[in-house]
Amino acid sequence: MAKDLRERVSVVAVLADDQERKSLRGIFAHSNWDLRFAPTIEAAERLLLRSPAGILIASEELPQQDTWRDALHRTQQIMSRPLLIVASRLADERLWAEVLNIGAYDVLATPFDPREVYRVVSFAWQTWKRTKHLCGVREGEFITAAAAV
């Protein structure tokens, strides 16, 4: 029997900066969480369709002129879409308000503080699990909204 995906914290990250990727990898190395990187939002979307994750961490500005708004838009088409956490050096009140108002989950300041990463990712994961449990989504049901039609 396949293991329920909701039992392990699973995160996909699209980060513009090599140092941010290295830092996040180091933080995750001290946990049993699953972290995968994608070079672009498009690649992250393909990865999420093949192997779902509850959380997507994306830099405020991304390669190929993508933004966190593009990440939010593209993942909204995934039926079991991940919660989006925006990573930014300018994690100010304006960005935080915009992120929440548009529908992302939270903001993480960079450089990453391990305690804050653990706190935000843990809460996001619990929220994602509760949402999926309430919706009755199981492992084999991770499909796109377009495929459900």
| 111 preceded by a cis bond (ω within 30 of 0) | yes
Quote the pLDDT of residue 141: 46
Taking residues 128-134, report their average pLDDT. Answer: 78
| 114 preceded by a cis bond (ω within 30 of 0) | no
Among 44-48, 75-79, 131-135, the minimum mean pLDDT is found in 131-135
Closest among 60, 62, 13 to 34, alpha carbons compared = 13
pLDDT at 106 over 60: yes
Q: What is the pLDDT of residues 75-102, one digit of tens each?
A: 888 877 899 999 999 888 999 999 999 9
The CATH number corresponding to 8-148 among 3.40.50.1000, 3.30.70.100, 3.20.20.70, 3.40.50.2300 equals 3.40.50.2300
In the chain, where the domains are located: 8-148
Q: How far apart are the first and last CA of the chain?
A: 28
pLDDT band at 8 (very low <50, low <70, confident <90, very high): confident
pLDDT band at 61 (very low <50, low <70, confident <90, very high): confident
pLDDT at 144 over 70: no
Quote the pLDDT of residue 133: 57
